[in-house]
Amino acid sequence: MVCLTELQQKFGSQIVESHFRDNRRIDVPASTLLPLLTSLKTDYGFSMLVDLTAVDWLEYDGATDRFSVIYLLLNMDSGERLAVRVPVNLPEAVLPSVYGLWRGADWMEREVWDMFGISFSGHPDLRRILMPEEFDAFPLRKDYPLKGRGERHNFPVITRSGS
Amino acid sequence: MTDGRVPAGVSDGLLVWPLSMPLTPVDTLETASAEREYVWTLNFGPQHPATHTTLRLVLTLDGEKVLNAVPYIGYLHSGFEKLGEHLDFNQYVTIVDRMNYLSPLANEIAWHHTVEKLLGIELTPRCKYLRTILAELMRMHDHLLNLGTTALDLGGFTAFLYFFQQREHIYDIVELASGQRFHTSYTRVGGVLFDVNTDWINRVRKFIREFPKVYDEVDRLLTKNRIFVDRTKGIGYLSREEVINFSAVGPVARASGVERDLRRDEPYLAYADLDFDVICSRGGDCYARYLVRMQELLESLKIIEQAVENIPGGPVNIGVESDMVLPSKPSVYRSIEGLIQHFEVIMPNRGYDVPREQIYAATESPNGELGFYIVGNAETRAYRARTRPPSLIHFSMFPHMIRNHQLSDVVAVLGSINIIAAELDR
Amino acid sequence: MAVGLPENIFITKLDAAANWARSNSLWPMPFATACCGIELMATAASRHDLARFGAEVMRFSPRQCDLLIVAGRVVMKMLPVLQRIWLQMPEPKWCISMGACACSGGVFDTYAVVQGIDRFIPVDMYVPGCPPRPEQLLQAVMDMQAKVRRTGTVMGREFAIRDMPAGPAPFDSDERYRIEDTRLVQLGGFSAAATSAGRGATQG
Ligand code: SF4
């Protein structure tokens, strides 16, 4: 088990812990993210990054930040799980990339960039992954409409006699 | 197909060709091949028989040897997660169905597993067993198609036909339970759509009796088949450390010696009561993945057999006093309380209490750890419904696995990691 | 046979002869993108056996096929590929749109999914269902054969007269209102991606 006080001693007291059902989460500021994750991996044995995702808080009552990015970690030996949540705000939504720690973060970070427009500094190849390169919105942001802005029908029509 | 030119016939002045939309040039490859002129680039997909779905690879080849592979995905990105923010917990089940379409019910079970954890629901014993049986049937469903098509791609048509016949029996079983053979939309918050009857149980028993015969036949066809073994052994090797570093869980990881199976390590549904083994292998290559899947078929059969024989009686849904499940039809038609309750569940502006919290929960889907990260916002739909897709993780390992193999190994490796495009792209 | 033709010689119209040959040797090109593709596989596999209807020669190269079966949803990134495959197929060619998604977008009314391929390529036959049962697809193939027999001509005159798109206009009124709406919202508020709305709207 990761001890919270130990982490607070190392990385400052802004680290907050919370529980819900069997999920254990810690909230950290963006500045200590990379050292914290490095230490979680090397000292505490969180060898697997299960998932990396983001949430847009634009329409959530009482939210203070625009986004949070969530790192779900797993200790392969003990089976312990831990979620690390870090707030991100516009205009410069940038976080350090964890590609160096877990190779699995590669596509997950690209997906977060593609869907939310949060970029990761130090990622070797941060391109769009799911949407076409020319697409210039971030579809999972709450201010993007479900049915899009007409991009889906921006194509030429082929008729039977013309083909 | 890589140049984005306007095809003949669509250049009539009115229409603008959309900026060569999907086919962006691969600049990383251009630099590499400029140095070595004999290196050539092959575009594999997005429409290719061996991908079975839609994914695209750009392979850099030196003769037959693959120097590099750059996957391009998103050819089936349909906005699942955005839809999850607009549909309520029960409606979204129709969408998660379509995520891994080789095993639709396994996705439903994973989705409602997470929702029920968010809501703090404890299922009834009968429902737990029923979902366990269905989850295992789906594991077989998935493995059968995967093994069949892998054999098909490697030149063995017969195994595909034999296994597809068994899939049809599973289709019949789920159709009998839910009314739909493919996208069943069978689970609901707190239970399932309808209970099953003894007829169904007998059908499952019959399947359990008959399956081993076909299994043996295919086993004899493939497992020691010289051609099949030659084309899979030593191909696409992954070590244990790499698998962990790449975040893979599931048959692919187990074939590389990672002993992790959520059914055993974080038991959910009825798995804690049932006796089964976690299949692992140290091989790490395509053949090991094939063997793991073959063995898992038998383990699943074992689980189903135990669960079917021990399925408890009683209600299949949680009580109506929870306000989350529909009351029985007779009570809706004959009593005012039932009618009100029905409306409370159905109407979008009513609903039940949902905590304003975030939760991650996962199940062991046929393909690996399928988890959902849900943010609840005091309404009966998710504020954010993130899927942790095993296929995305497996496919991101692909360039690493294929490097320095032959071109013909591409299909073997692709088959062995079982990429489902809808789950990959969502 | 009063005319005195030798045995084994028939007199027929060229069209009828061509239709007979064409309809009994449809070579499908399975453009299987999603779940419907698995049902397409099931149709060709053991129990349903598409071979009984002379349409089992699935070829994955468009140059060898004359029946395009679009099974599954087609999204923004995939549509140009589909169009190109359609253009690459030699004449005469037909298209079956299999499943709710290919016909109309189905349950996926989202930003990425094309709401019916008939907006962009010509379609001859629609198969409803999500997914359609294999029996439905078999029926569609048989109907397709009947249609070829009924309407086909050697020179493809029945194709030449179809100069209108098969489906609704890509930007139907609904969509255009919505695009205008989002653009107005954008002009008033945040403008992060106003350009993308502009690009979509000018097309309509
Ligand atoms: S129509 Fe249904 S089964 Fe077919 S591709 Fe669409 S969602 Fe899948």
Q: Does C50 touch chain B (CB under 8 A)?
A: no
Characterize B395-407 residue by residue with b for buried, 16 or more Cβ atoms within 10 angstroms of its Cβ, and e for exposed. Answer: bbbbeebbeebee
Q: Does B76 touch chain A (CB under 8 A)?
A: no
CB B38, CB B60: distance < 8 Å: no
Interchain pair A152, C114: CB under 8 A: yes
pLDDT for the residue numbered A70: 92
| pLDDT tier at B36, thresholds 50, 70, 90 | low
In residues, how long is chain C? 204
* CATH class of residue range C14-160: alpha beta
CA atoms within 13 A on the CB side of C41: 28
- In the stretch 349-388 of chain B, residues with CB closer than 8 A to chain A read 355, 357-360, 362, 369, 371, 373, 375, 377, 383-384, 386, 388
Q: Does B83 touch chain C (CB under 8 A)?
A: yes
Residue keyed to tokens 């594999």: B44
Task: Work out which ligand 1 atom sits closest to the CA atom of C130.
Answer: 2
Q: Dump the DSSP string for C80-148.
A: HHHHHHHHHSPSS-EEEEEHHHHHH-TT--SSSB-S-GGGTS--SEEE-SSSPPHHHHHHHHHHHHHHH
Interchain pair C112, A139: CB under 8 A: yes
Residues of B in contact with C83 (CB under 8 A): 7, 10
Q: How far is Cα B426 from Cα B82, in angstroms, rounded to an integer?
A: 10
B133 sits in which H/E element: helix B125-153
Q: Dump the DSSP string for B280-336.
A: --S--SHHHHHHHHHHHHHHHHHHHHHHHHT---S-SS--GGGSSSPPPHHHHHH-H
Size of interface A-B (CB pairs under 8 A): 123
**B80-425, what's its fold?**
Cytochrome-c3 Hydrogenase; chain B (1.10.645)
Torsion of CA B100, B101, B107, B111, to 10 degrees: 80
Residue keyed to tokens 């019949």: B172
Which of C31, C33, C36 best tests ligand 1's pocket when mutated (most atoms within 8 Å of CB)?
Answer: C36
Q: Is the pLDDT of residue B28 over 70?
A: no
Q: Is the pLDDT of residue B9 over 50?
A: no
Q: For the segment B337-362, what is each residue's pLDDT rounded down to a tens digit?
A: 888 888 888 877 777 788 888 899 99
Looking only at the bridges linking them, the beta strands covering A48-56 and A67-74 are antiparallel
Neighbours of B (≥3 Cβ pairs closer than 8 A)? Answer: A, C
3-state class (DSSP) for residue C171: coil
Give the distance from CA B330 to its chain's centroid. 37
Residues with CB under 6 A from ligand 1: B 98; C 34-36, 72-73, 99-101, 106, 130-131
Q: Does A159 touch chain C (CB under 8 A)?
A: yes
Stretch among A152-156, B118-122, B171-175, B391-395 having the lowest mean pLDDT: A152-156
CB B203, CB B383: distance < 8 Å: no
Query: In sequence order, what E strands does A75-128 have?
Result: 81-88, 94-96, 119-121
Kindly identify which residue of chain C lies nearest to residue B21, measuring between CA atoms: C77
Interface test with B, best of A48, A71, A73 (most B CBs within 10 A): A48
Q: How far is Cα B119 from Cα B117, in angstroms, rounded to an integer?
A: 5
C142 burial type by CB count under 10 A (0-12 exposed, 13-18 middle, 19+ buried): middle
Residue keyed to tokens 């990134």: C77
- Domains of chain A from N-terminus onward: 4-153 (3.30.460.80)
User: How close is the Cα of B323 to the center of ligand 1, in Å?
Assistant: 32
Residues of B in contact with A128 (CB under 8 A): 74
Higher pLDDT, B85 or B55: B85
To the nearest whole Å, the CA of B197 is away from the closest chain A CA by 34
C125-127: strand order across its sheet:
C28-32, C67-71, C94-98, C125-127
Calculate mean pLDDT across residues C36-44.
86
User: How close is the Cα of C128 to the center of ligand 1, in Å?
Assistant: 10
Using CB atoms, pick whichever of A20, A115, A158 lies closest to residue B357. A20
To the nearest whole Å, the CA of C108 is away from the closest chain A CA by 9
Task: Work out which ligand 1 atom sits closest to the CA atom of B422.
Answer: 8
Average pLDDT, chain B: 83
B56-62: strand order across its sheet:
B40-44, B56-62, B65-72
Q: How far is Cα B304 from Cα B327, in angstroms, rounded to an integer?
A: 29
Q: Does B313 touch chain C (CB under 8 A)?
A: no
- Kindly list the domain boundaries of chain B, sorted by start residue: 6-72, 80-425
Using CB atoms, pick whichever of A25, A76, A130 lies closest to residue B425. A130
Interchain pair A150, C179: CB under 8 A: yes
pLDDT for the residue numbered C185: 59
Q: Does C168 touch chain A (CB under 8 A)?
A: no
Q: Is the pLDDT of residue B368 over 70?
A: yes
CA-proximal residue: ligand 1, atom 8 (nearest)? C35
Q: Is the pLDDT of residue B113 over 60?
A: yes
Stretch among A51-60, B5-14, C14-23, C121-130 having the lowest mean pLDDT: B5-14
Calculate mean pLDDT across residues B303-330.
84
pLDDT for the residue numbered B34: 53
> First and final CA of chain C: distance in angstroms?
62
CB B166, CB B209: distance < 8 Å: no
Looking only at the bridges linking them, the beta strands covering A119-121 and A94-96 are parallel
Q: For the segment A68-101, what is each residue's pLDDT rounded down to a tens digit?
A: 999 999 888 888 888 999 998 888 888 898 888 8
Q: Longest C-alpha distance within chain C, in Å?
A: 86
Torsion of CA B308, B311, B316, B322, to 10 degrees: -130
Stretch among B72-86, B194-208, C185-199 having the lowest mean pLDDT: C185-199
pLDDT for the residue numbered B6: 40
- Kindly list the domain boundaries of chain C, sorted by start residue: 14-160, 173-203
Size of interface A-C (CB pairs under 8 A): 117
pLDDT for the residue numbered B373: 92
What is the complex's ipTM, to 2 decimals?
0.91
Q: How far is Cα B342 from Cα B345, in angstroms, rounded to an integer?
A: 5
Using CB atoms, pick whichever of C75, C178, C196 lies closest to residue A137. C196
| pLDDT tier at C204, thresholds 50, 70, 90 | very low
Q: How far is Cα B321 from Cα A84, in angstroms, rounded to an integer?
A: 36
Q: For the segment A109-137, what is each residue's pLDDT rounded down to a tens digit?
A: 988 998 888 988 888 888 888 888 888 88
User: How close is the Cα of C35 to the center of ligand 1, in Å?
Assistant: 5
